[in-house]
Amino acid sequence: MSAKVIDGKAFAAGLRERIGREVARLKQAGGFTPGLAVVLVGEDPASQVYVRSKGKSTVEVGMNSFEHKLDAATPEAELLALVDTLNKDPAVHGILVQLPLPRHIDEAKVLAAIVPEKDVDGFHVVNAGKLATGAKDAIVPCTPLGSLMLLKDTLGDLTGKSAVVVGRSNIVGKPMAQLLIKESCTVTVAHSKTRDLPAVVRGADIVVAAVGRAEMVKGDWIKPGATVIDVGINRVTGADGKGKLVGDVDYASAAQVAGAITPVPGGVGPMTIACLLANTLIAACRAKGLAEPKL
C-alpha cells in the first residue's frame, strides 16, 4: 500500500489566497489594513529564516508587517516595553515574539505580557485556557490548527477516531490534543517516557508526531490505513553528505503502511504561517467589531 500524500503546500496556498481576498475586502469596505508585528531577539539562524518568511507572507496577503529585530543582549525590560507599545498600537492586530528567546529573558513572562486579543500564536494562558474549556474566541496555536485543517480535509468527520499525539509541548502537543478532543476523537498524548510507544501508536487511526526527533516514528508503528501528520522539522545530513530536512516520522517506511501522510517539507510547515495570517485576520476583525470571515 502506498499512502496518499497530503499536500500542505497546496492547501496553505489556497488558504493564503482566501485570506488575501478578505484583506482586500477589509481595506475597501472597512477602510483598514490588518497588521502583524513580529519580534526577533538575537541572531538564531533558524529564527531569522522563519521571521523573514513570516514577514514576506504577511505582505503577500496585503497585510502590514512590522518587524522588530533586537540585539541578543537586549534586557528583558526593554522587550517588555516593546510588547507594551505593540499592545497599545491600534495598527497592530497580532503580535508574535519569536521563540526561543535568549536565556536571560523569561519566556513565560514575555508571553504573558502580550494582550490575549493580539496573541496570534495562541500561547497566552488565557488562550490556552479558552481552548481547553471550549470558548469560541480562543486563538488557537498555528501548527496544531493547520494540522487539524489537513486532517479534516483528508478524513472529513473525525468523530470517534482514535488519535495519538506524540509530544506534549505547550506549542503543539497539548493544543493538538485539545483540538482532537473537541472533534470527538479518543485522544492519547504519548511522549518520551511512554511505555511501549510503538504499541500505543499502532492503536491509532490518526497519528500526530511532534517530538522533535528525526525519523523516530517507524513504519511498523503505524496501523495500516492510518492518517499520519508529521509536525517535525529536523535538519540532518543525508547519505550524500548534504543537509536535508526530515520529519519526526520515517517517511519511507510509514508511507508504505499509512492511508495518508504529510511529507516534510511541504506538509504541516506551510500551514503554520498560513494559520498565523488567518489568526491575524480574525484578531483584526474582532478588534474592529466585524464579523469573522469563514476561511
Residues that bind ligand GUN (CB under 6 A): 96-99, 121, 142, 272
Q: How far is the CB of 236 from ligand GUN (least distance, A)?
A: 18
Q: Which residues of 12-50 are buried (b: 16+ CB within 10 A; e: fewer)?
A: beebbebbbebbeebeeeeebebbbbbbbbbebeebeeb
Nearer to ligand GUN, 3 or 38 (CB): 38
Nearer to ligand GUN, 98 or 154 (CB): 98
Rg of the Cα trace of the chain? 19
Sign of CA dihedral 148, 189, 143, 212: negative
Nearer to ligand GUN, 120 or 185 (CB): 120
Nearer to ligand GUN, 39 or 216 (CB): 39
Q: Is 98 a catalytic residue?
A: yes
CA distance 220 to 222: 5
Q: How far is the CB of 98 from ligand GUN (least distance, A)?
A: 5
Q: For strand 186-190 and strand 4-5, is the pairing parallel, antiparallel, or unpaired?
A: unpaired
Q: Write down the catalytic residue from 4, 7, 44, 54.
A: 54
Q: How far is the CB of 272 from ligand GUN (least distance, A)?
A: 6
Contact between residue 216 and residue 228 where contact means Cβ atoms under 8 Å apart: no
Q: Write down the catalytic residue from 118, 119, 121, 250.
A: 121
SS (H, E, C) 216-277: CECHHHCCCCCEEEECCCEEEECCCCCEEEECCECHHHHHHHCCEECCCCCCCHHHHHHHHH
Query: Cα-flanking dihedrals φ and ψ of residue 39, to 5°?
Result: -115, 125
Q: How far is the CB of 147 from ligand GUN (least distance, A)?
A: 12
Closest CA to 263 of 273, 271, 251, 272: 251
Q: Is 121 a catalytic residue?
A: yes
Contact between residue 131 and residue 171 where contact means Cβ atoms under 8 Å apart: no
Nearer to ligand GUN, 124 or 161 (CB): 124
Q: How far is the CB of 47 from ligand GUN (least distance, A)?
A: 7
Q: How far is the CB of 142 from ligand GUN (least distance, A)?
A: 6
Nearer to ligand GUN, 121 or 183 (CB): 121
Q: Write down the catalytic residue from 98, 119, 130, 230.
A: 98
Residues assigned a catalytic role: 54, 98, 121
